[in-house]
């Protein structure tokens, strides 16, 4: 059964924008993990974000994903790197890129399979540029379009 190797969140604000995850990479190494935070620290939020890369729009404890976004608040990237069942070391990246404008929440999901580090693995995919600016929705879509599998766009 595939297991989570790494989980990455970029540019996510929550708790009425009082809390901010700029660019966080969680390294699980395919092992069980414990996220130990105080009550209200964001455990459920982190779990809900992980679910979005698999089931976009999924609710958790009555919270809707769209409710975390303010209009024109920027692009959010959520990525999960899976270690696949294989005799070789193979990975699958599942990602969601989301943004909210006056028309509502828009997102696209994507996948990328690889067996060695490359320009689109979870650490190197250009979701943040060299100036530490978050890559926008349209910019990432154009970058990924030629070679990625896009199972869903909303």
Task: Please state, as a whole number, how many other Cβ atoms lie within 10 Å of the Cβ of residue 91.
Answer: 21
User: What pLDDT is attached to residue 139?
Assistant: 94
User: What pLDDT is attached to residue 82?
Assistant: 96
pTM: 0.90
User: Which among 49, 46, 148 has a CA at the least distance from the CA of 98?
Assistant: 49
Consecutive 10-residue runs of the chain (154 residues): their mean pLDDT?
Answer: 94 91 92 83 89 91 89 93 88 96 92 93 94 94 76 54
Tell me yes or no: is domain 3-153 CATH 1.10.730: no
User: What pLDDT is attached to residue 33?
Assistant: 82
Position of tokens 């990602």?
A: 95
User: What pLDDT is attached to residue 149?
Assistant: 58
First CA to last CA distance, the chain: 29
User: What pLDDT is attached to residue 110?
Assistant: 93
Domain boundaries, the chain: 3-153
In angstroms, the Cα distances linking 88 to 81, 91, 118, 124 are 16, 10, 16, 21
Q: How far apart are CA 89 and CA 75, in angstroms?
A: 31
User: What pLDDT is attached to residue 37?
Assistant: 81
Position of tokens 């698999």?
A: 54
Report the relative pairing of strands 76-83 and 3-14 from DSSP bridges: antiparallel
Which helix (H) or strand (E) element contains residue 27? strand 19-27
User: What pLDDT is attached to residue 128?
Assistant: 96
Q: How far apart are CA 93 and CA 65, in angstroms?
A: 21
User: What pLDDT is attached to residue 95?
Assistant: 96
Report the relative pairing of strands 3-14 and 149-153 from DSSP bridges: unpaired
User: What pLDDT is attached to residue 83?
Assistant: 94
């Amino acid at each position: 059964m595939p297991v989570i190797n790494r989980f990455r969140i970029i540019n996510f604000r929550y708790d009425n924008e009082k809390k901010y995850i700029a660019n966080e990479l969680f390294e699980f190494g395919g092992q069980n993990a414990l996220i130990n935070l105080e009550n209200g620290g964001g455990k459920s939020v982190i779990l809900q974000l992980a679910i979005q890369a698999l089931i976009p729009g999924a609710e958790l404890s009555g919270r809707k994903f769209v409710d975390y976004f303010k209009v024109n608040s920027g692009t959010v990237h959520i990525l999960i790197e899976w270690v696949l069942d294989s005799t070789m070391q193979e990975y699958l990246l599942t990602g969601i890129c989301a943004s909210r404008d006056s028309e509502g929440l828009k997102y696209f999901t994507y996948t990328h399979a690889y067996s060695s580090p490359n320009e689109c693995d979870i650490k190197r995919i250009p979701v943040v540029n060299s100036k530490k600016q978050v890559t926008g929705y349209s910019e990432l879509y154009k970058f990924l379009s030629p070679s990625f599998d896009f199972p869903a766009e909303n």
